[in-house]
Structure 1
Amino acid sequence: MARAASGVAAAALALGVGHLVASFGNPAASPLVAVGSALVDAAPTPAKTFAVRVLGTYDKPVLIGAVGVVLVVVAAVLGLVATRHRAVALAGTALLGVVGAACAVYRGGAADALPSVVAGVAGVAGLLWITSRDRGAAAPRPADLAVVPVPGRTPAGAATTPTPSRRGFLVAVGVVAAGAAVSAAAGTVVGRVRDASSAARRALGLPAPASPAPPLPEGVQLPGMTPFTTPVDDFYRVDISLVTPHVDASSWTLTVDGMVDTPLTLTYDDLLAMPMIERDITLTCVSNEVGGPYVSSGRWLGVPFAEILKRVGVQPGVDQVFSYSLDSGYTASTPYQAVTDGRDAMIAVGLDGKPLADDRGYPARMLVPGLFGFVANTKWLERIELTTYAKRTAYWTERGWATDGPILTQSRIDVPKSLGTLPSDKPVLAGVAWAQHRGIDKVEVQIDDGEWQEASLATDGGIDLWRQWSFRFEGPAGLHSARVRATDATGQTQPEARTKVFPDGARGWHQIQFTSE
């Protein structure tokens, strides 16, 4: 057991040192994160879809945990192997560092290999030091043999070296484990210092919009319903990042180039100095299952895309806006038409009156109403290339998802929850419906396979926002089922037939069962 622990301690030291080194540069290059991120990229689309559906926002912690468990098992085996084959165990430990470095380079650049390289060296050194104190380990080379004194037979002047002891071995394991903890803690401290610097920059606030959002009309919010404007902390989050990128706005730049007359590079201050618009917009993820939670609404502040395009001068032939994220090579392709047809496409810097949080894409992200996030809402934005679909293929398109991603007409029952109870003093079903950039004209409810009945709609906040609805239930007490469907402003009613989220979004009617008192 102690020898297995020696391998685990050495691996922990490697991870701690790698985490510390990565904290000074790119946290995503930390060995464990780099390997996990490479697995995310390599996983087939059905596996990713299954993980999001079953685990939701916990998919990333579960993946990191799984990689960690596998590493612990491998490290324990290497610790046992070191008892008789130390060279093999040391080579295996070094190989783990090589794997981490390869994964980091695959997702980033050559510089991202450094944390894993240093981690590999630290792991080898730690295991070598521990095993040198293991009296049961493989016999050392002849040149390293100690001369053990025998009473009455030790030559005069001969050097004597004490044999390794079990106590010394256990102490070595403890020292290496402590080094791992100290390294990991130091990396965390460095990260928090960087976060504090970012927080200080954000504390300076945001400029007033040149075009503020009008107040939401009275009646958009139904009593006891899902908040019409989603609290920032409750806003859904789906992305490929295993660790949230922490970007220093003081050194961040946004490049706009490609098929343009005048390429542009903007600092964060440059961006904040440009005319801003403020708009209420509902976002939806293509991974949202029928009745799912990946839809949220907020008040966004940003630079209108039209202003960016005016400054660079777009050349003929452009049909896509290709955006690059600081999130380990993530890219998205947005139809050029969608940022030039008058909708409120923007480079967003604020949400609900505050600068973007790190996990919302700070310092800037794209936002295009009416499109699923995977083709339009790139977070941690670093470059925008005006180009063609023939020249560039985005991250998710390469993995089989749709090239275009218009948001589908969808609806959801929020009250009561499935298998919940509808009280006799307030027998009202309620929910939300959305069809961003088209708007919702009608919502219908069906009880127990009966006739479709029209629900009451809350006040319309605008075509880029979801809309709440309610329906008074007047049936008998007992167990019932309810289904909902919406019709958008173009007259299209969401279809009954269920489809999976892959490749362009889930379709179908949300259905629940409930008990009426």
Structure 2
Amino acid sequence: MVLGQRPVRGPSSWPPRGRAWAASQSGHSVRGEVRSERLPVNRLLAALSGVLATLAGVAAGHLAAALLDPATSPVLAVGSQVIDLTPTPVKEWAISQFGTRDKPILIGSVLVGVVLLAAVAGLLARRRFAYGAAVFVLLVAVPAVIAVTRPTAGVSAVAPSLVALVVGLAALAWLVRAAAPAAVGGRVGAPAEDRVEDRPGEAGGPSRRGLLVAMGVVAGAAAVLGGAGRWVASYRTRAVAIDLPAAAKPLPPLPEGLEERFAGITPLQVANSDFYRVDTRLDVPIVDVEEWTLTIDGDVEEEVTFTLDDILAMDLVEKDITLTCVSNSVGGEFVGGARWLGVPLNELLDRAGVGTRADQILSTDVDGMTISTPLALATDGRDALLAVGMNGEQLPREHGFPARMVIPGLYGFISATKWVTRMTLTTYDAETAYWTDRDWATEAPIKPSSRIDTPRALAPLDVGEVVVGGVAWAQQNGGVGTVQVRIDGGPWQDAELGPDVGNDYWRQWFYRWDAASGQHRIASRVVDGDGGPQSPARANPFPEGSSGIQELIVTVG
């Protein structure tokens, strides 16, 4: 070949074809074109890598928490702090709007926030791994601090967050490396502009395939770790059978309720699985019955401590008591009747000897949650209990196993401490509890109220006889005297009452209405045993319980 002569190419190489040739003719850069086309996809994969790495870390942390203490799980720790910091009006709004679904919604909201920050971490790690790692460290630091500052937290409380940090960072580093196996120097965190993944014809295809495989592995690991955590938590919180003694003087069986005659009316006795649950916990505490104790201290003659065996060896009593949550709105679902088995609270207090200064019982659960109960109301002769049984069974874990307070006539936020482990006799000036710190009332007797269970609001009904029915309660002033129904603002008409179980228990009721065609308004109210009608004044649950008359609209014809 003569020096300087242009070599002759074969038919396969000349003339030049493809995007490289077209780009050279138009003056555009092939590399720039390919990079601009692939940039959105690369960013999406980077964000998804951050999310998957975070989910793997969270799943690993959840598994570690299930083995140690479920409350230290990173997501649950943040969720619990959110509950504590949420203003009361917002909290009440969430309960009224979502009911018992408020906690899953809260956890889901926390996870959405975590996912968004995780995506940011993935995008930053695409530029420099250190940037993404810094965001991930911040994500883990928040639940770690929250977990170790809980009232009963120990050194091990930070372990799940550390596990989440190590696993998450390792997964993120692997995914970043998988995205650029041929990066300059082969190092994680090489600048994006230096990576071969953005150069046509080099490592772009294999790098993406490798990343997708790595992402699949991380996603699978997250699923396995998360599933294992759920299984371990479920196994550890399973019911541990105890030998529950019978009451010294068992009550007769409850009479047949109206639910047997009229569909839609709430059962006279609510099954444990259907009993409402409202508390601040996102998990159920794991209590070792062999180590559980109840201590009564403070302004007492002698501090006393009881084991569960000590409690079960006492003469147990049965009491039929209706519990109501202060967050229950008029016509709400957070109320239920059950038969409780336990020791009279006065008997336990007498063993300690109550002093002369105390005006409250500050009860504390196994995780440090505190509730204030007015001492005068707890000891005025009402059937206040330390309950160990519910409806013929041991207490379910979600309802306070192994022991809880049950005091009739008072809203649960000042009377129904679950998982209780300490009762301190003290004064309101000396000690404040969780709800009093949030400006809820210190004395909150349950307000008499009636609820319409059937028909449902806006229900279409046939012309003719319609059974209107529900439940009512009035635990002070002689219990339920009668229940009255009003149609379209007319006069109050007496309903028929179901069986009488006692003043501390609700009453079922029904009213036979001859319904004419059209739209109608139905209201109900309770009149207590002393003749006092339910208050028509509308009041929100905060700070001492709701009031007002439930009224609903139905269509007939």
| Common fold by TM > 0.5 | yes
Which residue number in structure 2 is paired with residue 412 of structure 1?
A: 451
Question: Is 1:491 aligned to 2:536, yes or no?
Answer: no
Q: Contact between 2:463 and 2:516, CA under 8 Å: does it hold in 1?
A: no
Quote the offset at 1:30 in angstroms: 0.2
Which residue number in structure 2 is paired with residue 206 of structure 1?
A: 244
Question: Is 1:114 aligned to 2:190, yes or no?
Answer: no
Which residue number in structure 1 is paired with residue 39 of structure 2?
A: none
The 3-state SS of whatever aligns with 1:261 is coil
CA–CA distance in structure 2, aligned partners of residues 134 and 12 of structure 1: 18
Quote the offset at 1:113 in angstroms: 2.0
Quote the offset at 1:70 in angstroms: 1.5
Quote the offset at 1:97 in angstroms: 1.0
Question: Is 1:71 aligned to 2:114, yes or no?
Answer: yes
Quote the offset at 1:286 in angstroms: 0.7
Q: Contact between 2:469 and 2:510, CA under 8 Å: does it hold in 1?
A: yes
Which residue number in structure 2 is paired with residue 89 of structure 1?
A: 132
Q: Contact between 2:126 and 2:189, CA under 8 Å: does it hold in 1?
A: no
**Of residues 312, 319, 323 in structure 1, which corresponds to 2:359?**
319
Deviations 1:290-344 (A, max 9, x none): 1111111011101110121121111111111111123x43211111112211111
Quote the offset at 1:496 in angstroms: 1.3
Q: Contact between 1:221 and 1:458, CA under 8 Å: does it hold in 2?
A: no
Which AA in structure 2 matches 1:75? Answer: A
Which residue number in structure 2 is paired with residue 17 of structure 1?
A: 60
Which residue number in structure 2 is paired with residue 149 of structure 1?
A: none
Q: Describe the shift of the 1:228–1:136 C-alpha distance in structure 2 as closer, same or farther (beyond 3 A).
A: same
Which residue number in structure 2 is paired with residue 124 of structure 1?
A: 169
Q: Contact between 2:300 and 2:354, CA under 8 Å: does it hold in 1?
A: yes
Quote the offset at 1:222 in angstroms: 7.0
The 3-state SS of whatever aligns with 2:179 is coil
Q: Describe the shift of the 1:385–1:267 C-alpha distance in structure 2 as closer, same or farther (beyond 3 A).
A: same
CA–CA distance in structure 1, aligned partners of residues 284 and 210 of structure 2: 41
Which residue number in structure 2 is paired with residue 160 of structure 1?
A: none
CA–CA distance in structure 2, aligned partners of residues 265 and 185 of structure 1: 39
Which AA in structure 2 matches 1:105? Answer: V
Deviations 1:147-183 (A, max 9, x none): xxxxxxxxxxxxxxxx994443333333333332232
Q: Describe the shift of the 1:181–1:475 C-alpha distance in structure 2 as closer, same or farther (beyond 3 A).
A: closer
Deviations 1:362-396 (A, max 9, x none): 11111000000011001111211111111111111
Question: Is 1:353 aligned to 2:392, yes or no?
Answer: yes
Greater displacement, 307-316 / 363-372: 307-316
CA–CA distance in structure 2, aligned partners of residues 447 and 186 of structure 1: 55
What's the % identity of the aligned pairs? 48
Which residue number in structure 1 is paired with residue 285 of structure 2?
A: 245
The 3-state SS of whatever aligns with 1:227 is coil
**Of residues 441, 448, 454 in structure 1, which corresponds to 2:481?**
441
Q: Contact between 1:83 and 1:136, CA under 8 Å: does it hold in 2?
A: no
**Of residues 97, 104, 115 in structure 2, which corresponds to 1:54?**
97
Question: Is 1:366 aligned to 2:405, yes or no?
Answer: yes
**Of residues 351, 364, 371 in structure 2, which corresponds to 1:332?**
371
Quote the offset at 1:397 in angstroms: 1.4
Which residue number in structure 2 is paired with residue 159 of structure 1?
A: none
Q: Contact between 2:176 and 2:188, CA under 8 Å: does it hold in 1?
A: no
The 3-state SS of whatever aligns with 2:522 is strand
Quote the offset at 1:511 in angstroms: 0.6
Question: Is 1:254 aligned to 2:254, yes or no?
Answer: no
Which AA in structure 1 matches 2:215? Answer: V
For structure 2, the 5+ residue unaligned runs are: 1-43, 191-204
Q: Contact between 2:173 and 2:188, CA under 8 Å: does it hold in 1?
A: no
Quote the offset at 1:105 in angstroms: 2.4
Greater displacement, 369-378 / 302-311: 302-311
Q: Report the TM-score, using the length of structure 1 for normalisation.
A: 0.90
CA–CA distance in structure 1, aligned partners of residues 338 and 415 of structure 2: 16
Which AA in structure 1 matches 2:237? Answer: D
Which AA in structure 1 matches 2:329? Answer: E
Which AA in structure 2 matches 1:123? Answer: G
Question: Is 1:469 aligned to 2:509, yes or no?
Answer: yes
Deviations 1:411-443 (A, max 9, x none): 112221222255556433222210124301122
Which residue number in structure 1 is paired with residue 350 of structure 2?
A: 310
Q: Describe the shift of the 1:346–1:138 C-alpha distance in structure 2 as closer, same or farther (beyond 3 A).
A: farther
CA–CA distance in structure 2, aligned partners of residues 42 and 141 of structure 1: 46
Quote the offset at 1:136 in angstroms: 8.2
Quote the offset at 1:232 in angstroms: 1.5
Which AA in structure 1 matches 2:227? Answer: A
For structure 1, the 5+ residue unaligned runs are: 146-162
Greater displacement, 49-58 / 426-435: 426-435
Equivalences, count: 495
CA–CA distance in structure 1, aligned partners of residues 256 and 132 of structure 2: 69
Which residue number in structure 2 is paired with residue 230 of structure 1?
A: 270
List 4+ stretches of structure 1 deviating above 6 A: 140-145, 218-222
Which residue number in structure 1 is paired with residue 235 of structure 2?
A: 193
Quote the offset at 1:143 in angstroms: 12
CA–CA distance in structure 2, aligned partners of residues 144 and 35 of structure 1: 30
CA–CA distance in structure 2, aligned partners of residues 143 and 227 of structure 1: 63
The 3-state SS of whatever aligns with 2:173 is helix
Which AA in structure 2 matches 1:91? Answer: A
Which AA in structure 2 matches 1:238? Answer: V
CA–CA distance in structure 2, aligned partners of residues 138 and 349 of structure 1: 64
Deviations 1:162-217 (A, max 9, x none): x9944433333333333322322332332233235xx3x32x44101113223435
CA–CA distance in structure 2, aligned partners of residues 137 and 440 of structure 1: 79
Q: Contact between 1:371 and 1:406, CA under 8 Å: does it hold in 2?
A: yes
The 3-state SS of whatever aligns with 1:427 is strand
1:257-276 aligned at under 5 Å gives the runs 257-276=297-316
Greater displacement, 86-95 / 215-224: 215-224
The 3-state SS of whatever aligns with 1:507 is coil
Question: Is 1:279 aligned to 2:319, yes or no?
Answer: yes
Which AA in structure 1 matches 2:250? Answer: P
Deviations 1:95-125 (A, max 9, x none): 1111111121233424322211221222222
**Of residues 34, 46, 51 in structure 2, which corresponds to 1:8?**
51
Q: Contact between 1:94 and 1:121, CA under 8 Å: does it hold in 2?
A: no
Quote the offset at 1:84 in angstroms: 0.8
The 3-state SS of whatever aligns with 2:127 is coil
Q: Describe the shift of the 1:464–1:133 C-alpha distance in structure 2 as closer, same or farther (beyond 3 A).
A: same
Question: Is 1:457 aligned to 2:497, yes or no?
Answer: yes
Q: Describe the shift of the 1:279–1:472 C-alpha distance in structure 2 as closer, same or farther (beyond 3 A).
A: same
Quote the offset at 1:500 in angstroms: 0.8
**Of residues 403, 415, 428 in structure 1, which corresponds to 2:442?**
403
CA–CA distance in structure 2, aligned partners of residues 53 and 255 of structure 1: 36
Question: Is 1:174 aligned to 2:219, yes or no?
Answer: no
